[in-house]
Amino acid sequence: MPIPFSRLELAVQKAVDETPIFDMHTHLYPPAFDGLLLWGIDELLTYHYLIAEVIRATSIPAEDFWQMDKAQQADFIWNELFIKRAPVSEACRGVITVMRNVGLDPSDRDLKAAREFYKTQTVDEFIELVFTKANVHSAVMTNDPFDKSEVKFWETIGNNHPRLHAALRIDPMLLWWDVASETIEEQGYEVDHALNEKTFCAARKFLEDWAAKMKPRYMAVSLPPTFTYPADDVTTQILDSVVLPFAREAGLPFALMIGVKRSVNPNLKLAGDGVGRADLSCLEQLCQRNPENKFFATLLSRENQHELCILARKFSNLMPFGCWWFMNNPSVIEEITRERIETLGWSFIPQHSDARVLDQLLYKWPHSRRIIAQVLVDKYQDMVDAGWRVMESEIYRDVNRLFSQNFEEFAPNWT
């Protein structure tokens, strides 16, 4: 039944709200990874985006901020960014949306009441509340085999949470080989300190064994804007001799997150990373020279986004995803989503949450759904104006492709 012109907007918004999401990049953990999963109002308020904002807004010396404990930091952020100033930024608005979605009235401006609510929750109840309310059916974590605080859980209990999937994150292997090779050796693999076949073989075995433990949906790395490929450097050797051959054999996509300048202001700790525009010939060459590999890509610079769309048109083994980090603001999400739809049709993944705090699923997705819905209404409207009768069932089909199907087809689960 074709949708009458007047009902299109409602039909699209309904399909976008009702379609469950596979969130392909987060920093969540299973509750059983005791202490690693962040949740609750104080973690929300001390999200590194808000730490950067409050240090800027108040010019408090960073070292004075770090002297405070978690609750004092949260109090300070609440008072400075929510009480003394209207909470207008995306990260501030996010806290308000979460408070509303857990049943609080943020307009009461009552942080004490919020803390009281969270005392009534257990993490197992809360994780189900959040995933259900956010209509996120599954999420991919960021799992680091070089991080001792996480390794101990994979070597004992592992992950069997039905909603959480692993991603094998390998930054040290590509960026700090000297450190990575020591960890690989400590974990029992015989690496030489020369980059030779013996070392490459041991490093591939390391990846194989970790993939067997984690059963990851993909491997991932974040890279600086200066990343070049191919280059006469260790990164290219490890990519060509270890990571890409292993990914091909295992059928694992490799996610490249390019453009982060780590620690441009070390005083801000996790909040101190910056952004730079990358030369995307690295991505072009990776796709061109490795046609049997599958690549996800998300870029941190707004100036790189259109190039990524055009690159994806040239290489079907390249899947753009998300509006990463500094891109995750309404104005930029709208721009990126429009240019992706106009150049790639339905063959991209519009968003990921990058949630570090469980509760953030309750704002990052509602905020993004609203923008994606607005873009889709316009695009379906354009089709209607061109003479195409839009069917309601087809809207659900198309939205499901964006929210789940593209990811699940590009990164199938382990069989």
Cα gap 64→53, rounded to integer Å: 15
Q: How far is the CB of 202 from ligand FIX (least distance, A)?
A: 26
Query: CA-CA distances (angstroms) from residue 206 to 62, 287, 367, 381?
Result: 39, 24, 39, 51
Q: Judged by CB under 6 A, which of 294, 356, 369, 401 binds ligand FIX?
A: 356
Phi, psi of 345 (to 5 degrees): 65, -125
Cα gap 128→124, rounded to integer Å: 7
Residues 6+ apart with CB under 8 A from 205: 189
For residue 354, state whether it binds ligand FIX (rule: CB under 6 A). Answer: yes
For residue 222, state whether it binds ligand FIX (rule: CB under 6 A). Answer: yes
Exposure on the CB side of residue 274, measured as CA atoms within 13 A = 10
Q: How far is the CB of 324 from ligand FIX (least distance, A)?
A: 6
Q: How far is the CB of 140 from ligand FIX (least distance, A)?
A: 11
> Do 19 and 401 contact (CB within 8 A), yes or no?
no
Q: Please count the residues of this chain forming the interface with ligand FIX, following the rule CB under 6 A.
A: 8
Tokens encoding 371? 């923008």
Question: Is the bond preceding residue 230 a cis peptide, omega within 30 degrees?
Answer: yes
- Answer with the entry of ligand FIX, Zn ion, none that 257 interacts with (C-beta below 5 to 8 A by kind): ligand FIX
Cα gap 155→150, rounded to integer Å: 9
- Answer with the entry of ligand FIX, Zn ion, none that 356 interacts with (C-beta below 5 to 8 A by kind): ligand FIX
User: Nearer Cβ to ligand FIX, position 21 or 399?
Assistant: 21
- Answer with the entry of Zn ion, ligand FIX, none that 222 interacts with (C-beta below 5 to 8 A by kind): ligand FIX
Cα gap 182→388, rounded to integer Å: 60
User: Nearer Cβ to Zn ion, position 53 or 354?
Assistant: 354
Query: CA-CA distances (angstroms) from residue 193 to 99, 175, 177, 204?
Result: 51, 15, 10, 15
User: Nearer Cβ to Zn ion, position 270 or 391?
Assistant: 270
For residue 104, state whether it binds ligand FIX (rule: CB under 6 A). Answer: no
For residue 257, state whether it binds ligand FIX (rule: CB under 6 A). Answer: yes
User: Nearer Cβ to ligand FIX, position 170 or 309?
Assistant: 170
DSSP for residue 258: E
Number of Cβ within 10 Å of residue 40's Cβ equals 20
Q: Please count the residues of this chain forming the interface with Zn ion, following the rule CB under 5 A.
A: 1
Q: How far is the CB of 83 from ligand FIX (least distance, A)?
A: 25
Tokens encoding 286? 């990776």
Cα gap 334→323, rounded to integer Å: 10
Mask: binding to Zn ion, 336-365, rule CB under 5 A, as x and -? ------------------x-----------
Q: How far is the CB of 322 from ligand FIX (least distance, A)?
A: 9
User: Nearer Cβ to ligand FIX, position 323 or 341?
Assistant: 323
User: Nearer Cβ to ligand FIX, position 179 or 270?
Assistant: 270
For residue 398, state whether it binds ligand FIX (rule: CB under 6 A). Answer: no
Q: Which residues bind Zn ion (CB under 5 A)?
A: 354
Q: Which residues bind ligand FIX (CB under 6 A)?
A: 27, 142, 222, 257, 270, 325, 354, 356
